[in-house]
A = this chain, B = another copy of it.
Amino acid sequence: MTRQNSFQAIEWTDSGLLLLDQRCLPHEQHYLCLQDAVSVAEAIRDMVVRGAPAIGITAAYAVVLSARQHLEHNPDNWQARVQQDVKKLAAARPTAVNLVWALQRMQQRLARSEAEPAACLLEEARQIHEADIEANHRMGGYGANLINKGDSVLTHCNAGALATGGYGTALGVIRSAWAAGKLVNVYAGETRPWLQGARLTAWELLQDDIPVTLVTDSASAFLMQGGKVQWVITGADRVAANGDVINKIGTYSLALACRYHGVKMMVAAPLSTLDMAMPDGQQVAIEQRPTDEILKFSGHALAAAGATAWNPVFDVTPASLVDYLVTEAGIVAAPDREKLAELHDQAPVGHSSSQNS
């Protein structure tokens, strides 16, 4: 398995599924070792692990945990029990499509009724994990090819090794471009309210000795006005059939500022993020997280008592504002419905879109 980042956020071990607790970063590298699918569903909901591809991979391993547990304790109806766990896992976060995509792959494998089901499911989960890392390396190469020597980039949230099987989508492109000596400056938006940029992206890039400068999310447009970046590069939690991109709140604002300044907007996302069953982005369920993410910090009140908050954690960027969609199958410039249908038809088996809504 190719691993070019210096840590592992998701790791299958004989003792269970090891997850780097991203709530504790950057101050502490604390791992949770989970033995059952319900605990994994909670870990996904509580953001021990986050990032669309990473939660898909995590859920796939959780199905293995579920099968092991129920084969042992409920041999007569273990498959029905696994299906119950799959439902819980699918409901853990609503917006990213990779979660449901990975669970569907695991269910297809489960349906084969093989001799050693747990071992077969583990094989499937490992394949999902390794294919994701491989996809990220390909995307890294494709994306880096678009970047000119001397360019600077801004990224948002964390679309890195922490958010994927490894190497990262947006940060995969940045890693590849950095390794090629192309980048002058890497800026990261701090990404309120959860501060994925300040806490995770900065940590991850510094682990790999890539210098990073944080900006408040609201400073990005002014950064562009000053000509300080030529690219905004993000991941995606879901790409609709028309090319609309659902990603971390703030992505849309960045895309608007990009278009105004002629800064290029690149979205790097594996084919597992593509949802051909979703006609456009306006129909995707946008997760609203607890208002305390805005009103409090580390349990302490930030805002005036009595204030309420609106906390959608994703937004919808229309395809028309995306200059390049980079997948492991190649680059789609100015993505639209026709180009995405073509991309989807070329995609390898197992990378078909999900049917969820």
Contacts and interface: CB of A to CB of B under 8 A. Distances in A.
Contact of A222 (B189, B203, B222, B249): B249
A218 B219 contact: no
Interface stretch (A44-52, A128-136, A205-213): A205-213
Interface stretch (A1-9, A84-92, A98-106, A194-202): A194-202
Contact of A253 (B203, B220, B311): B220
Contact of A219 (B250, B257, B260, B298): B250
B218 A304 contact: no
Interface string A298-336: 101111111111111001100000000000000000000
Nearest to A302: B198
A214 B295 contact: yes
Contacts of A315: 219, 221-222, 225
A215 B309 contact: yes
Interface residues of A, number: 56
A148 interface: no
A304 B222 CA distance: 24
A294 interface: yes
A193 interface: yes
A190 B294 contact: yes
Q: How many monomers of this chain does the complex have?
A: 2
Interface string A59-85: 000000000000000000000000000
A223 interface: yes
A262 interface: no
Top 5 A-B residue pairs of the complex, sorted by shortest distance between their CB atoms = A218-B250, A203-B304, A26-B304, A221-B253, A217-B218
A337 to B, nearest CB: 20
B303 A222 contact: no
A187 interface: yes
15 contacts: A187-B310, A192-B216, A192-B218, A198-B303, A202-B306, A202-B307, A212-B307, A214-B294, A214-B303, A214-B309, A219-B249, A219-B250, A221-B256, A222-B312, A253-B253
Contacts of A316: 222, 225
A234 interface: no
Contacts of A249: 216, 218-219, 222
A223 B190 CA distance: 20
Contacts of A195: 302-303
Contacts of A188: 307
B216 A217 contact: yes
